[in-house]
Amino acid sequence: MFRTLAIAKRIFKQILRDRRSFAMIFVVPLVVMSLVGVSFNKNQPLLNFVGPALICTFVLFFTFILTGISFLRERSEGTLDRLLTTPIRRIDIILGYSISFFIFALIQSSIIITFSIFVLDIAYEGQILHMFLVVILLSIVAVNFGVFVSTFAKNEFQVVQFIPLFIIPQIFLAGVIQPVENLPDILQYVSNILPLTYAVEGLRSIMIEGSNIQIIRKEIIVLLAFASLFVTLATLSVKR
Protein backbone atom coordinates (compact mmCIF):
# COMPACT_ATOMS: atom_id res chain seq x y z
CA MET A 1 0.00 0.00 0.00
CA PHE A 2 2.90 2.37 0.79
CA ARG A 3 4.36 1.83 -2.68
CA THR A 4 0.98 2.29 -4.32
CA LEU A 5 0.35 5.57 -2.52
CA ALA A 6 3.88 6.79 -3.28
CA ILE A 7 3.28 6.22 -7.01
CA ALA A 8 -0.11 7.94 -6.80
CA LYS A 9 1.40 10.94 -5.00
CA ARG A 10 4.12 11.36 -7.65
CA ILE A 11 1.63 11.18 -10.54
CA PHE A 12 -0.71 13.59 -8.76
CA LYS A 13 2.01 16.23 -8.45
CA GLN A 14 3.17 15.66 -12.01
CA ILE A 15 -0.28 16.19 -13.51
CA LEU A 16 -0.79 19.37 -11.51
CA ARG A 17 2.39 20.79 -13.04
CA ASP A 18 1.22 20.02 -16.59
CA ARG A 19 -0.75 22.92 -18.09
CA ARG A 20 -2.60 20.81 -20.65
CA SER A 21 -3.78 18.35 -18.03
CA PHE A 22 -4.75 21.19 -15.70
CA ALA A 23 -6.86 22.77 -18.45
CA MET A 24 -8.46 19.42 -19.29
CA ILE A 25 -9.46 18.95 -15.67
CA PHE A 26 -10.66 22.40 -14.64
CA VAL A 27 -11.32 24.52 -17.73
CA VAL A 28 -12.58 22.29 -20.54
CA PRO A 29 -15.55 20.81 -18.60
CA LEU A 30 -16.77 24.32 -17.74
CA VAL A 31 -16.50 25.46 -21.36
CA VAL A 32 -18.31 22.39 -22.71
CA MET A 33 -21.10 22.53 -20.12
CA SER A 34 -21.53 26.25 -20.80
CA LEU A 35 -22.05 25.44 -24.48
CA VAL A 36 -24.64 22.85 -23.49
CA GLY A 37 -26.48 25.46 -21.43
CA VAL A 38 -26.47 27.98 -24.29
CA SER A 39 -27.68 25.34 -26.76
CA PHE A 40 -30.65 24.27 -24.61
CA ASN A 41 -31.47 27.59 -22.96
CA LYS A 42 -34.88 27.75 -24.66
CA ASN A 43 -35.81 24.12 -24.09
CA GLN A 44 -35.36 23.29 -20.42
CA PRO A 45 -37.53 20.12 -20.49
CA LEU A 46 -35.30 18.62 -23.18
CA LEU A 47 -32.19 19.60 -21.22
CA ASN A 48 -33.63 17.88 -18.14
CA PHE A 49 -34.00 14.66 -20.17
CA VAL A 50 -30.66 14.65 -22.00
CA GLY A 51 -28.74 16.23 -19.10
CA PRO A 52 -27.99 12.97 -17.21
CA ALA A 53 -26.82 11.31 -20.43
CA LEU A 54 -24.59 14.26 -21.31
CA ILE A 55 -23.08 14.26 -17.82
CA CYS A 56 -22.15 10.59 -18.16
CA THR A 57 -20.83 11.06 -21.69
CA PHE A 58 -18.58 13.99 -20.78
CA VAL A 59 -17.26 12.22 -17.67
CA LEU A 60 -16.41 9.14 -19.75
CA PHE A 61 -14.80 11.20 -22.53
CA PHE A 62 -12.71 13.59 -20.42
CA THR A 63 -11.54 10.88 -18.02
CA PHE A 64 -10.54 8.55 -20.84
CA ILE A 65 -8.55 11.26 -22.64
CA LEU A 66 -6.80 12.50 -19.49
CA THR A 67 -5.87 9.00 -18.33
CA GLY A 68 -4.86 7.62 -21.71
CA ILE A 69 -2.57 10.50 -22.65
CA SER A 70 -1.06 10.88 -19.16
CA PHE A 71 -0.25 7.18 -18.86
CA LEU A 72 1.18 7.16 -22.38
CA ARG A 73 3.45 10.05 -21.40
CA GLU A 74 4.73 7.99 -18.48
CA ARG A 75 5.64 5.18 -20.85
CA SER A 76 7.21 7.50 -23.44
CA GLU A 77 9.42 9.18 -20.84
CA GLY A 78 10.62 5.81 -19.53
CA THR A 79 9.17 6.28 -16.05
CA LEU A 80 7.02 3.18 -16.28
CA ASP A 81 9.96 1.08 -17.54
CA ARG A 82 12.06 2.14 -14.56
CA LEU A 83 9.28 1.17 -12.19
CA LEU A 84 8.94 -2.22 -13.85
CA THR A 85 12.62 -2.98 -13.18
CA THR A 86 12.01 -2.69 -9.44
CA PRO A 87 10.41 -5.34 -7.20
CA ILE A 88 7.13 -3.39 -7.29
CA ARG A 89 4.28 -5.56 -8.50
CA ARG A 90 2.31 -4.65 -11.62
CA ILE A 91 -0.91 -4.37 -9.64
CA ASP A 92 0.77 -1.84 -7.31
CA ILE A 93 1.75 0.27 -10.31
CA ILE A 94 -1.70 0.13 -11.89
CA LEU A 95 -3.45 0.93 -8.62
CA GLY A 96 -1.07 3.82 -7.98
CA TYR A 97 -1.71 5.34 -11.37
CA SER A 98 -5.43 4.62 -11.11
CA ILE A 99 -5.75 6.31 -7.72
CA SER A 100 -4.08 9.51 -8.93
CA PHE A 101 -6.08 9.61 -12.16
CA PHE A 102 -9.25 8.82 -10.26
CA ILE A 103 -8.77 11.82 -7.96
CA PHE A 104 -8.69 14.11 -10.98
CA ALA A 105 -11.62 12.26 -12.54
CA LEU A 106 -13.52 12.88 -9.32
CA ILE A 107 -12.71 16.59 -9.53
CA GLN A 108 -13.91 16.68 -13.13
CA SER A 109 -17.09 14.84 -12.22
CA SER A 110 -17.76 17.23 -9.35
CA ILE A 111 -17.33 20.21 -11.66
CA ILE A 112 -19.67 18.77 -14.27
CA ILE A 113 -22.41 17.73 -11.82
CA THR A 114 -22.23 20.95 -9.78
CA PHE A 115 -22.32 23.13 -12.89
CA SER A 116 -25.19 21.12 -14.36
CA ILE A 117 -27.35 21.40 -11.26
CA PHE A 118 -26.61 24.86 -9.92
CA VAL A 119 -25.77 26.79 -13.09
CA LEU A 120 -27.68 25.03 -15.87
CA ASP A 121 -30.50 24.32 -13.40
CA ILE A 122 -31.03 20.76 -14.62
CA ALA A 123 -33.87 19.28 -12.57
CA TYR A 124 -33.22 16.28 -10.33
CA GLU A 125 -35.43 14.23 -8.03
CA GLY A 126 -32.97 11.85 -6.36
CA GLN A 127 -30.09 12.43 -3.98
CA ILE A 128 -26.93 14.12 -5.22
CA LEU A 129 -24.84 11.55 -3.34
CA HIS A 130 -26.40 8.76 -5.39
CA MET A 131 -25.70 10.73 -8.56
CA PHE A 132 -22.05 10.96 -7.56
CA LEU A 133 -21.88 7.22 -6.95
CA VAL A 134 -22.93 6.41 -10.52
CA VAL A 135 -20.54 8.96 -11.99
CA ILE A 136 -17.67 7.77 -9.79
CA LEU A 137 -18.12 4.17 -10.92
CA LEU A 138 -18.15 5.32 -14.54
CA SER A 139 -14.96 7.30 -13.86
CA ILE A 140 -13.25 4.18 -12.51
CA VAL A 141 -14.21 2.33 -15.68
CA ALA A 142 -12.88 5.15 -17.86
CA VAL A 143 -9.64 5.48 -15.87
CA ASN A 144 -8.71 1.83 -16.16
CA PHE A 145 -9.81 1.59 -19.78
CA GLY A 146 -7.61 4.60 -20.53
CA VAL A 147 -4.64 2.87 -18.88
CA PHE A 148 -5.38 -0.34 -20.77
CA VAL A 149 -5.66 1.37 -24.16
CA SER A 150 -2.55 3.51 -23.68
CA THR A 151 -0.38 0.40 -23.35
CA PHE A 152 -1.07 -0.33 -27.02
CA ALA A 153 -0.50 3.24 -28.28
CA LYS A 154 2.85 4.66 -29.38
CA ASN A 155 1.80 8.31 -29.43
CA GLU A 156 -1.04 10.60 -28.37
CA PHE A 157 -2.66 10.46 -31.80
CA GLN A 158 -3.11 6.72 -31.46
CA VAL A 159 -4.83 7.22 -28.09
CA VAL A 160 -7.22 9.67 -29.73
CA GLN A 161 -7.95 7.10 -32.45
CA PHE A 162 -9.68 4.96 -29.85
CA ILE A 163 -12.36 7.63 -29.43
CA PRO A 164 -14.28 6.58 -32.59
CA LEU A 165 -13.96 2.97 -31.46
CA PHE A 166 -14.90 3.34 -27.82
CA ILE A 167 -16.67 6.64 -27.17
CA ILE A 168 -18.69 7.56 -30.26
CA PRO A 169 -20.50 4.20 -30.69
CA GLN A 170 -21.66 4.41 -27.07
CA ILE A 171 -23.16 7.86 -27.66
CA PHE A 172 -25.45 6.38 -30.32
CA LEU A 173 -26.14 3.04 -28.62
CA ALA A 174 -26.30 3.85 -24.90
CA GLY A 175 -29.47 5.91 -24.86
CA VAL A 176 -27.80 9.31 -24.99
CA ILE A 177 -29.62 10.48 -28.12
CA GLN A 178 -32.68 8.24 -28.03
CA PRO A 179 -33.97 5.47 -25.74
CA VAL A 180 -32.31 2.09 -26.22
CA GLU A 181 -35.77 0.57 -26.77
CA ASN A 182 -36.05 2.49 -30.05
CA LEU A 183 -32.93 0.86 -31.51
CA PRO A 184 -33.06 -2.22 -33.77
CA ASP A 185 -32.97 -5.48 -31.83
CA ILE A 186 -29.36 -6.31 -32.72
CA LEU A 187 -28.17 -2.89 -31.57
CA GLN A 188 -30.06 -3.29 -28.31
CA TYR A 189 -27.98 -6.41 -27.66
CA VAL A 190 -24.82 -4.42 -28.35
CA SER A 191 -25.93 -1.67 -25.96
CA ASN A 192 -26.13 -4.27 -23.19
CA ILE A 193 -22.33 -4.67 -23.23
CA LEU A 194 -21.54 -0.94 -23.07
CA PRO A 195 -20.74 0.64 -19.68
CA LEU A 196 -22.20 3.99 -20.72
CA THR A 197 -25.62 2.34 -21.14
CA TYR A 198 -25.80 1.43 -17.46
CA ALA A 199 -24.40 4.77 -16.30
CA VAL A 200 -26.99 6.68 -18.35
CA GLU A 201 -29.84 4.46 -17.18
CA GLY A 202 -28.75 4.74 -13.56
CA LEU A 203 -28.18 8.50 -13.51
CA ARG A 204 -31.33 9.24 -15.51
CA SER A 205 -33.35 7.06 -13.14
CA ILE A 206 -32.00 8.98 -10.14
CA MET A 207 -32.38 12.46 -11.60
CA ILE A 208 -35.72 12.07 -13.38
CA GLU A 209 -37.52 9.37 -11.40
CA GLY A 210 -35.95 9.96 -7.98
CA SER A 211 -34.66 6.39 -7.72
CA ASN A 212 -32.27 5.28 -4.99
CA ILE A 213 -29.35 2.86 -4.97
CA GLN A 214 -31.58 -0.11 -4.22
CA ILE A 215 -33.65 0.50 -7.35
CA ILE A 216 -30.62 0.87 -9.63
CA ARG A 217 -28.58 -1.91 -8.01
CA LYS A 218 -28.36 -3.72 -11.37
CA GLU A 219 -26.63 -0.75 -12.99
CA ILE A 220 -24.32 -0.40 -9.99
CA ILE A 221 -23.32 -4.08 -10.08
CA VAL A 222 -22.66 -3.99 -13.83
CA LEU A 223 -20.51 -0.86 -13.55
CA LEU A 224 -18.54 -2.51 -10.75
CA ALA A 225 -18.04 -5.54 -12.98
CA PHE A 226 -16.77 -3.36 -15.83
CA ALA A 227 -14.41 -1.57 -13.43
CA SER A 228 -13.01 -4.87 -12.17
CA LEU A 229 -12.61 -6.15 -15.72
CA PHE A 230 -10.63 -3.14 -16.90
CA VAL A 231 -8.44 -3.12 -13.77
CA THR A 232 -7.53 -6.72 -14.55
CA LEU A 233 -6.92 -6.02 -18.24
CA ALA A 234 -4.82 -2.95 -17.45
CA THR A 235 -2.70 -4.96 -15.01
CA LEU A 236 -2.17 -7.80 -17.46
CA SER A 237 -1.28 -5.41 -20.31
CA VAL A 238 1.63 -3.89 -18.39
CA LYS A 239 4.57 -6.18 -19.12
CA ARG A 240 8.02 -6.20 -17.59
pLDDT digits (tens, 9 = 90+) for 119-152: 999 989 989 999 999 999 999 899 888 888 887 7
pTM above 0.85, yes or no: yes
- At 239, is the pLDDT very low, low, confident or very high (cuts 50, 70, 90)? low
Taking only the tens place, the pLDDT of each residue in 25-66 is: 888 888 999 999 888 888 888 889 899 999 999 999 988 888
Looking at per-residue confidence, does 146 or 155 come out higher? 146
Question: Cβ contacts of residue 228 below 8 Å, gap of 6+?
Answer: none
Q: Go through 176-213 and write b for each residue having 16 or more CB atoms within 10 A of its CB, e for each that does not.
A: beeebeebeeeeeebbeebbbbbbbbbbbbbbbeebeb
**Would the pLDDT of 230 be above 80?**
yes
Q: Which of 60-64, 195-199, 231-235 has the highest mean predicted lDDT (pLDDT)? A: 195-199
Nearest CA-CA partner of 107 in 7, 11, 199, 29: 29
Burial class (CB in 10 A: 0-12, 13-18, 19+), 154: exposed
What would the pLDDT profile of 89-109 be if each residue is shown by its tens digit? 777 777 887 888 888 888 888
